[in-house]
Amino acid sequence: MAKIALRGLTKRFAAFTALNGIDLAIEPGEFVGLLGPSGCGKTTTLNIVAGFEEPTSGEVLLDGRSLRGVPASQRGMGIVFQSYALFPHLTVAENVAFGLEMRKIAKPARQQKVKEALDLVRLGHLADRYPRQLSGGQQQRVALARALAIEPALLLLDEPLSNLDAKLREEMQVEIRAIQRRVGTTTIMVTHDQAEALATCDRIAVMDAGRIVQLADPLTLYDAPTSHFAASFVGRSSQLKARIASVEGGRCSILIDGIAATVPGAAQPSLPAGSAVVIALRPEKVRLVPPKDGFLHGRLASRVFQGSSWLFSVETAIGAVLSSEPHRGAPAFNEGDHVGLNWRPEDAALIADAHHG
Amino acid sequence: MAEASRSRVPLLLSLPALLFFAALLVTPLVMIAVLSFQSFDLATGATGGATLSNFADTLGDPYYHTIFLRTVGIALATTVLCVLIGAPEAYFLSRMRAPWRSIFLIVTLSPLLISVVVRTLGWALLFGRNGVINNVASGLGLTSAPIPMLYTIQGVVIALVHVAVPFMIISVWAALQRLDPKVVRAAQSLGAGETTIFIRIILPQIVPGILSGSLIVFALAASAFATPAIIGGRQLKVVATATYDEFLGTLNWPLGAAIAIVLLIVNATIMLTYNRLLERRYARFAQ
Amino acid sequence: MNRNGPVALLCHSLFVIFMLAPLIVVMWMSLTPSNLLSLPTSSFSLRWFRAILANPQFVSAFWMSIVLGVVAATCAMALAVPAALALARHSFPGREALVGLFLSPLIIPHVVLGVAFLRFFTQVNITGSTAGLLASHVLIIFPYGLRLVLAALTAADPAIERAAISLGASSWTVFRRVVFPLMIPGVAGGWVISFIQSFDEVTMTVFVATPSSMTLPVKMYHYIEESIDPLVASVSTVVILLTFLLMVLVDRIYGLDRMLVGKG
């Protein structure tokens, strides 16, 4: 049975619909990310699960029981807020102990649990400090310890890393993931940062305009986005309009609009010959080759050195295509060269084109 | 060269105000301090020389003792009432929705901008033997004889609360604005109910606001003049009205100056120690 | 969730009544047709407002307070604006002490200032002069104006001045085109609040005002000391209405709630 299930969650405000039928089932111990731009409804979803907002319709089931009408203070969810929301007048230990006090846990047991929670986030030595005396990363860990100390049914993370600088953020991604694995608490994380979601989550729900547009594990989401939105929001990709010419076995041949170039792609059973598609190509899967060896060709418009890799942008007759390759010395092509583009058929994601269906 | 001229700019800009303050604030205060050490003669007025007799009179005479104690008592009672009334009201205001919040903020604070004499007149009209409150009470059959309110300490305290409570609201409001609204949600998610949240989370964080508000209210009430003069009448003298009488009634200026200096010193001492305490106690988490 | 319960709303209503009751009683009383202090219920009259015009002492005290407020507020802002520029735009040794000095009239009891001015004016022999009264008012209203101008200046991002300089503006142009427009609301709001403080002041003024330089609140105070009659209620009503007009003005140019509770 799912640990937590969202059934047809809808939230309407006077003028607009924030959530439009969210269905999501999360297994025990799973770490699920809600990923999307601001205004996509991810925070509203989190607030409804936490009990801070009531859905217009639909419901939230925890261990199969509906949470309708259960106040936030009775839901037992551990929440880490974007601003951390630590109690500034209480010490680190008092912050962590607060939820245990509310549960009327006797003092000796409470102190033991506070110690365990602080050791878990490696802050045992700062127990008597006040939040203001801590760095951003330390405050973040106190917030995590406070949420975990109550042994929550569910851990909710609301953009937990967005106030940290880039380097610390990457460290904390690893640490949060490791802590979650160790304690095994089912977790939902709201984020607008696709790299953060890919790095930490078991599964990611990509949200757009109040709906989940794709729910998949990070690898599938990255390699096989099923929508134009998912392909452009997660990672970088070049998207080309095309039409399926014929389907044979595991392969189909694609006719790219305007020019008669026929390129191979992995077939999708749902897309018959003749349907309009978009092919999404990840830059690192597109190779720059001499013109005669390419499925497509064009002019190398720019060549950007990015440290560990090079990023090329090629102007083709049907639009710009990005390609990247690891840095192993100066690339073979210069800006202005005529080049070919090549990729393995299975690396091109085919997306049904809603606009030209 | 550029450095030197740049460092002269702030001096030149603030010089007019600085000279004005030196002439109109520092000089008169020094003069009044000097005056408080001069002896007084009924026939010739203030005479030179240095004496501590004015301070001895002010601090030793039971008559002035009563006045100082009464003043402190009135100020303390006003402060306690302002805390009990103003702090919850500020909290209620902060929980109101968009248009009502500013409307009631203005309604409750704008009496600040209306002359104290006018506001005190209002209380005098309400409090009199044949005033509005007594008329309504006897009209409703609640009282048989008029309740004395004008010329009583209670009356003075009520009118002073009216004058001073907006400052308490402003102070507590400022503390409430500094609060991260998410801490309320954090406490909820950890299992705290409404009352627990107010007592354990909100209240401790607005204590600095309540304390600094108390300081302003106490200072204001301890040195109030028009309200105790009109509501308290001639019998219930406080420090400010006693000073006025020494200066413009009995014309014993050195004694009046000594009373004023004591008031100033007491006020400044309370402010500074209180501030020091506030800083020591709350610096750890105050913004 | 974020709303007040019935008990809170009841307390709030009682508080609003408490704050407004004395003002409403004064205005109500001023409409009485009778010679007695009784709230009119059946018939109302403006006779006590006409009676103000027949009382030259109140009329001259009123104009005295208006002129004093306008001139004092203008002088105070003329001193406060440069001082605020110095304090907001420069850091220099003694800056904190200077701020403390400039704001000190707020914490010195006005009765102490009153006796100090009385002594000072007697010593320099300008007792009862309008100049002395004006100077004393400029001093006590100075901090109010200074605070609003300072708030307006410190709220602005200092980078926009550097942006103007980088675009080729001279210091004078930066002041005229960037700094000055930004502080106009603070200056205008500061002027009005200074005027109101001067117009309302009684505790200090009662020591330095003489029959030849009598302000309205002091005149009213002396009048009430003798007797309370509907005439002083009608004068008070005029003061309340005038203050209300000024509040609307402040609200338009600066934001009344912003001025009352600081940045809100």
Mean pLDDT, residues C199-213 taken together:
92
Whether chain B has a CB inside 8 Å of the CB on C170: the answer is no
Triad B129, B134, B138: Cα angle to 5°: 125
Cβ pair B183:A85 closer than 8 A: yes
Contact call for A99 and B196, based on CB within 8 A: no
Angstroms from B281 CA to nearest CA on chain C: 23
- Tens of pLDDT, residue by residue, chain A (357 residues): 899 999 999 999 888 899 999 999 999 999 999 999 998 999 999 999 999 999 999 999 999 999 999 999 999 999 999 999 999 989 999 999 999 999 999 999 999 999 999 999 999 999 999 999 999 999 999 999 999 999 999 999 999 998 888 889 999 999 999 999 999 999 999 999 999 999 999 999 999 999 999 999 999 999 888 888 999 899 999 988 888 877 776 677 777 765 656 666 666 667 777 788 888 899 999 999 998 888 888 999 999 999 999 999 999 888 899 999 999 988 889 999 999 998 887 788 888 876 543
Distance between CA atoms of residues A306 and A322, nearest Å: 14
The position carrying tokens 């409150």 is B133
Of the pLDDT bands very low, low, confident and very high (cuts 50, 70, 90), residue C26 is very high
Inter-chain residue contact C26 with B121, CB threshold 8 Å:
yes
pLDDT of residue C231: 93
Lowest mean pLDDT among B74-78, C167-171, C205-209: C167-171
- pLDDT at position B42: 67
Q: Say if the Cβ atoms of C109 and B222 lie within 8 Å.
A: yes
- Domain ranges for chain B: 62-251
Give tens-digit pLDDT for B39-77: 887 666 666 677 888 888 888 889 998 999 999 999 999
Task: Report the 10 Å Cβ neighbour count for A125.
Answer: 10
User: Residue C253's pLDDT is what?
Assistant: 79
pLDDT tens digit sequence for C45-77 = 999 999 999 999 999 999 999 999 999 999 999
pTM: 0.83
Side chain identity, residue C171:
S
Which residues in chain A touch residue B285, judged by CB atoms under 8 angstroms apart? 88-89, 130-132
Interface of B with A (CB under 8 A): 180, 182-183, 185-193, 196, 200-201, 204-205, 284-285
Q: What is the CATH number of domain B62-251?
A: 1.10.3720.10
Q: Are B214 and B77 in contact (CB under 8 A)?
A: no
CA distance to partner chain B, nearest, from residue C169 (Å): 17
pLDDT tens per residue, range C85-134? 999 888 888 888 999 999 999 889 999 999 999 999 998 888 878 999 99
| Range list of H helices, chain A | 42-50, 72-75, 92-102, 107-120, 136-149, 166-183, 194-200, 218-223, 228-233
Tens of pLDDT, residues B215-263: 889 989 998 999 999 999 888 999 999 999 988 888 888 989 999 999 9
Backbone conformation region of residue A122, classed left if phi is above 0, alpha if psi is from -120 to 50, else beta: left
Which range of B79-88, B174-183, B205-214 scores highest in mean pLDDT? It is B79-88
Enter the ipTM.
0.89
Backbone angles phi, psi at C99, to 5 degrees: -60, -45
With pLDDT > 90 as the criterion, what percentage of chain B qualifies? Answer: 49
Residue type, B34: V
* Pairing mode, strands A338-342 and A296-305: antiparallel
- B186 and A131 in contact by Cβ < 8 A? no
Please indicate if any CB of chain C lies within 8 Å of the CB of B89. Answer: yes
Q: What is the interface size between A and B, counted as CB pairs within 8 Å?
A: 71
pLDDT at B4: 42
B224-251 burial, b for 16+ CB within 10 Å, e for fewer? bbbbbbbbbbeebbbbbbbbbbbbeeee
Per residue in C220-261, pLDDT (tens digit) is: 999 998 888 899 999 999 999 999 998 888 888 777 877 777
Most A CBs within 10 Å, among B190, B199, B202, B210, to test the A interface: B190
Return the residue of B nearest to A99 by Cα.
Answer: B190
Domains of chain C and CATH, by start: 55-260 (1.10.3720.10)
Which residues in B lie closer than 8 A to residue A95 (C-beta atoms)? none
